[in-house]
Structure 1
Amino acid sequence: MSLEDPLYHITPVQQAAASCTGAVLTSLLVTPLDVVKIRLQAQHRLSQNVSNKCFLYCNGLMDHFCGCTPNNGQKHWFQRPGHFNGTIDAFIKITKNEGIYSLWSGLGPTLVLALPTTILYFVTYEQLRLRLKNLYNRNNVEGQERKQPYWIPLISGATARIFAVSVVSPLELIRTKMQSRKISYAEINESLKLLIKQDGIKGLWKGVFPTLGRDVPFSAIYWMNYETIKGFFGSDTPTFGVSFFAGAVSGGIAAFATVPFDVVKTHQQIEIGEKTLYTDKPQRTKRTAQIIREIYRHSGIKGLYAGLVPRLVKVAPACAIMISSFEYGKVFFYRLANPDSDIFNSSKENLQSNK
């Protein structure tokens, strides 16, 4: 018996709840690491008197633009004074001087947009994967369920990411504008009208292609490897530990393979962010090929793999937390509706028998 069997599928609403739980847990556990990293980066920037730039960071779920200019005379959370000598020192001083809650600065805006994005992404992936798998087995003349081929999670992951990013992209543009400074809804409305007038309705998706250029290959590689590793353990209903391990390894592989995409995407998004944050008139940005040539000319191949270690350190545990919470959530909702089922115990027995 397996959750892969159509008789035991949970509903899309239950899948959404499972992914929502994973998103909250990932944000809660990973955000402090990024807050410390950003405070260290901002400290370095301010020491260089960089006052008219923005930078990009990701807390494991989504990217954020941070502008370094004061917000109507008030400093942003990442501009608070501090003299940190390293990561551990920053953790101690922030907790002692500003309170432990400061380690979760910016969590609210993250969850507002991350939750719907994550729900769209995971529910779309799961629904599409199961439908493709059922279609694949329906054409089997032998009448027996065949092992899921690698191309099903690959296509499902890429398609789900395209859908989630495309739907949420206009909201991300508005959020970026609102976070840059205090701005009224009337001013946002005027900015959006100007953007649409100059670039058409496609202007609402400004910056979406750099995001897709990184996230679609990442999702395709991640899900293909995750489903493959999960299959090695001989169960379609993995334990929490198996999901955590498979998620961490798959996330690491996908992160490594897409570092050049991430570097190019960061350059493009920072340029788009600065023009969004500091100007009301839309401007043209550099093309992907142009940015790749510039990076290669100045830094060579190493430049395209800049930030590899920090990306691996952050992405692997974030993927592990997210997918293990999602998989466990699916089992939880199934058992909630079927308290007498032995499906979870069966997966453990299958795992032990394969050892």
Structure 2
Amino acid sequence: MANKTEPKKPEPKFELLPKIVNGGIAGIVGVSVVFPLDLVKTRLQNQTIGPKGEKQYKSMLDCFKKTYAAEGYFGMYRGSAVNILLITPEKAIKLAANDFFRHHLTMRDGSLPAIRQMLAGGLAGACQIIITTPMELLKIQMQDAGRVAAQAKAEGRTIPRVTAMELTRKLMKERGIFGLYKGVTATAGRDVPFSVIYFPMFGTLNNMGPREPGQANPPFWWSFMSGCLAGSTAALMVNPLDVVKTRMQTLTKGSGERQYSSILDCITTTLKYEGPRAFFKGGACRMIVIAPLFGIAQTVYYLGIAERLLGYR
């Protein structure tokens, strides 16, 4: 009697549209919550130590106080419009691309070895820089404008404020579309390693979460905690690269602040004048920014809001 072969299970279908929508929603919610912390992080990373050891900001709290006193509540959200506008495609690309590559790199037995998880994360990080680079370039100018203006005011000078649209037009006029991609190598040097570390770590932590019978994903609070822990860990590990990227993309410098001709020049000059600790400036602040940003983003992403709105199962 011939053995009956069991029917082959259909392969799970990868739906790209809801993942893109989820990524966009996740990015908007996350950025809206943590933007003031990101502004402080940018200003701390950009300030240099004077010849007598003087600093514009003594600490993260001091930067908060001085920014709020000089620019008010909405000053803490300077550059947020650009970020919220571009974070939608940026997070959509990052999160959806990671899922896309994980889906196609999964072995036939359903397993996904760590090296393939890292490859999927790295490819996702490489895909996002097409949006991340101009977004970060414009955001950094808006965020750092208050610090440079305060320094100029103390010296009796005035620096006119420039809007994101005016800056975009100026860069496009002077350098074409490539003007918006200043620091693209440094951005890739930060985002690819970040994604290589973050996504496998998040996936591992998330898979360890408790599940009810028949439930595909762990509870939302577990995804949130997994995103926080993986995000803060990856952020700390790539913070030196983030400092280099921030300084390379800062176009308007304060008086006496150094200009850098290349990534190597930025690294060697910073080491020479400020020492290794300079590469961890804003590190604690960046961890505080990234932890809730990715915790919120992963929670929104895994709640599957877009699937419900678009009628997917």
TM-score by length of 2: 0.69
Alignment of 1:274 onto 2:255: no
Assess, with a 3 A threshold, how the Cα gap between structure 1 residues 239 and 308 changes in structure 2: closer, same or farther: same
More off after superposition, 202-211 vs 229-238 = 229-238
Assess, with a 3 A threshold, how the Cα gap between structure 1 residues 29 and 299 changes in structure 2: closer, same or farther: same
Q: What is the match of residue 105 of structure 2?
A: 132
Q: What is the match of residue 200 of structure 2?
A: 224
Q: Is the 8 A contact 1:154 1:224 kept in 2?
A: yes
Question: For residue 224 of structure 1, what is the amino acid of its counterpart?
Answer: P
Alignment of 1:15 onto 2:7: no
Assess, with a 3 A threshold, how the Cα gap between structure 1 residues 124 and 193 changes in structure 2: closer, same or farther: same
Mapping of residues 46-195 of structure 1, within 5 Å: 87=64, 104-133=77-106, 136-137=107-108, 145-167=109-131, 169=133, 181=162, 192=172, 194-195=174-175
User: 1:114, 1:176 → 2: CA distance?
Assistant: 14
Q: What is the match of residue 78 of structure 1?
A: none
- In the alignment, structure 1 segments of 5+ residues that lack a partner are 49-83, 138-144, 278-283, 339-355
Q: Is the 8 A contact 1:154 1:220 kept in 2?
A: yes
Question: For residue 115 of structure 1, what is the amino acid of its counterpart?
Answer: T
What SS does the aligned partner of 1:286 have?
A: coil
Q: Is the 8 A contact 2:79 2:140 kept in 1?
A: no
How many angstroms does 1:326 deviate by?
Answer: 0.9
Q: Is the 8 A contact 1:14 1:333 kept in 2?
A: no
Aligned identity (percent) is 22
Q: Is the 8 A contact 1:8 1:334 kept in 2?
A: no
Q: How many residues end up aligned between the 2 structures?
A: 267
Q: What is the match of residue 315 of structure 1?
A: 290
User: 2:303, 2:31 → 1: CA distance?
Assistant: 17
Q: What is the match of residue 205 of structure 1?
A: 181
How many angstroms does 1:274 deviate by?
Answer: 2.4
Q: What is the match of residue 157 of structure 2?
A: none
Alignment of 1:299 onto 2:263: no
How many angstroms does 1:240 deviate by?
Answer: 0.6
Q: What is the match of residue 252 of structure 1?
A: 232
What SS does the aligned partner of 1:20 have?
A: helix
- In the alignment, structure 2 segments of 5+ residues that lack a partner are 1-9, 51-60, 146-160
User: 1:131, 1:113 → 2: CA distance?
Assistant: 27
Q: What is the match of residue 209 of structure 2?
A: 233
Per-residue CA deviation, residues 4-49 of structure 1 (Å, 9 max, x unaligned), is x84364x2111122112211211221124446x48997xxx8xx9x
Q: Is the 8 A contact 2:102 2:117 kept in 1?
A: yes
Q: Is the 8 A contact 1:15 1:330 kept in 2?
A: no
TM-score by length of 1: 0.61
How many angstroms does 1:174 deviate by?
Answer: 7.3
Mapping of residues 335-350 of structure 1, within 5 Å: 336-338=311-313
The Cα RMSD (Å) is 4.1
Q: Is the 8 A contact 1:177 1:188 kept in 2?
A: no
Assess, with a 3 A threshold, how the Cα gap between structure 1 residues 105 and 169 changes in structure 2: closer, same or farther: closer
Question: For residue 293 of structure 2, what is the amino acid of its counterpart?
Answer: A
Assess, with a 3 A threshold, how the Cα gap between structure 1 residues 257 and 188 changes in structure 2: closer, same or farther: closer
Q: Is the 8 A contact 2:105 2:112 kept in 1?
A: no
Assess, with a 3 A threshold, how the Cα gap between structure 1 residues 167 and 304 changes in structure 2: closer, same or farther: closer
